[in-house]
Amino acid sequence: MKFKYKITVIVTLQIALIIASFLVIIHFESQMILTGNIVNVAGKNRILTGQVQIEINQVLFHDKTHEHNVSLALEKLEDNIHFLKYGGEFSGLSIPPLPLQFTTDWNNIVKQFEKYKNDISKLVSKENASSQEIKDIEELGNNLVTLSGVLTEKLGQDIDTHSKQLILLQIIFCIINVIIHILMISFILKMFTKYTKQKIKDEKFTTIGEFATIIAHDMRNPLGTIRNSVTLLQKYNNSKLFDDEIHRINRAVKRMSHQIEGVLNYIRTVPFVLEPASIHEILYHSLDIIIMPKNIKLSIPENDITILCDSEKLEFVFANLILNAVQAIDNDTGYITIKLSDKEDMAVLSFENSGVIPKQNISKIFEPLFTTKMQGTGLGLTSCKNIIEQHNGTIIVKDDPITFTIHLPKNSVSCQV
């Protein structure tokens, strides 16, 4: 599920990046189109000025009654100049207001138009206009066209700049997308390789687990017979040798049983039998399978707490932690100190010892099949963690000195069987 979640996040990010790239490009392009529309409006000044000029010539040289047409042509030109500044809708095209950097050019056009308009009204109202006056009007008209041309050219340059920026932006987005895609693909491949390795490992565990479970179960019957017979024989012992050997067999049975429980508790196939039990008593029972070396000083808590638990399973946990401590101390002179305390609705147990576990191994200590010992399945501490968690408790380990701390609810009625 974690793998699927990561892939989903990565693909979503890629899609978001592609959409963002397109939106930025679309925004730039639409800005360019709008500026292109302004160019059209500015260019229209030339045509409209030309029309004014035609109407003037009509009035001056042909028909004096066409004066009204001059006013109409001027009005159209004026409207176009205002439209150029403030924008709006025109023939289905959207024209934005003129960008502020072109205000000076527009002001020059307006000034020139005002002069052009005034001089035309003076000229057409005269009976006989001189050829110089007509030429001056033409000159003003040409200036107006030139100023509009300057604005058109500047707008064109602006579009050109935007166009270059857009190409650059497209290249940048393309490079970013390619890089991110390559990174994503390598990341997905890495995750996939990790996932495949984990899957193979899990399958191996399952197969090993199934075999181990069958063997462990099969061993329980003969072990049961041995224990029954030894228990019976114990009652008829009549010598120290007999008694010692019976104890040896009993210890061996317990150790085998302990290993079997380790496998079965790792697979979690053993149901819980919850009953009130004394932690003190469970601790003492757990010591049955251990021969404590003389170089180790063991301290057991004097206080006791009764909790609702599966005592056989907790016995397994305690025996495992003590055995591990014995192995960690090895032949050095050392200690194992077990402390028990009451913390509201929890019983807190700590197993401290003077042994050494390399720092790099501390984090892997609860991983299945992790072992640095020649003996053992590597399932012991994993099974311990399983059992404590099934009691709704927690187990943590810290070094310097090595201490396993267990928190167990006193009343784990809701234990996860």
Partner 1 sequence: MSSVKKILIVDDDYDFLESLQLLLINEGHDVLAITNGNSAVLKYQEFNPDIVFLDVKMPVIDGYEAFLRIIKYDHNAKVVFISSYMLDDIKYKNAKDRSLAGLINKPIKLDILRKIIKKHAK
Contacts made by residues 127-133, CB under 8 angstroms, sequence distance 24+: 129/60
Whichever of 372 and 416 has its CB closer to partner 1, that residue is 416
Residue 271 CA to residue 312 CA, distance in Å, equals 11
150 versus 249: smaller Cβ distance to partner 1: 249
Residue 209 or 409 with smaller CB distance to partner 1: 209
Q: In what order do the strands lie in the sheet with 402-409?
A: 296-299, 334-343, 346-353, 402-409, 394-398
**Could you list the residues that contact partner 1 (CB under 8 A)?**
213, 217-218, 220-229, 231-232, 235, 253, 257, 264, 269-271, 273, 312
Print the SS3 string covering 314-350: HHHHHHHHHHHHHHHHCCCCEEEEEEEEEECCEEEEE
Distance CA 352, CA 325 (A): 8
**Burial profile 117-156: b = 16 or more Cβ within 10 angstroms, e = fewer:** bebbeebbeeeebeeeeeeebeebbebbbebbeebbebbe
Q: Which is nearer to partner 1, 41 or 277 (CB)?
A: 277
Shortest distance (Å) from residue 201 CB to partner 1: 23
CB of 257 to partner 1, least distance (A): 6
| Nearest CA among 387, 391, 367, 389 for reference residue 377 | 367
CB of 172 to partner 1, least distance (A): 60
Decide: helix, strand or coil at residue 403: strand
Min separation Cβ 414 and partner 1, Å: 15
Residue among 63 and 218 whose Cβ is closer to partner 1: 218
Tokens 């030894």 map to which residue?
A: 230
Spatial separation of the C-alpha atoms in residues 59 and 376, rounded to whole Å: 116
Closest approach of partner 1 to the CB of residue 331, in Å:
32
Query: What's the min distance (Å) between Cβ of 210 and partner 1?
Result: 10
CB of 267 to partner 1, least distance (A): 8
Give phi and psi for 341, each to the nearest 5.
-140, 160
CA distances from 228 to 240, 257, 273, 364 (A): 20, 14, 22, 39
Going by C-beta distance under 8 Å and a sequence separation of 6 or more, which residues neighbour residue 385? 366, 395
Of 248 and 364, nearer to partner 1 (C-beta) is 248
* Integer Rg of the chain from CA: 47
E strand spans, 181-292: 275-278
Which residue number, 158 or 315, has a Cβ lying nearer to partner 1? Answer: 315
Instruction: Judge if the upstream peptide bond of residue 401 is cis by omega within 30 degrees of 0.
Output: yes
Residue 218 to residue 213: CA distance in whole angstroms: 8
Judged by beta carbon, residue 42 or residue 415, the one nearer partner 1 is 415
Smallest distance, partner 1 to C-beta of residue 215, A: 12
Q: Which is nearer to partner 1, 278 or 341 (CB)?
A: 278
**What minimum distance in Å lies between the beta carbon of 250 and partner 1?**
10
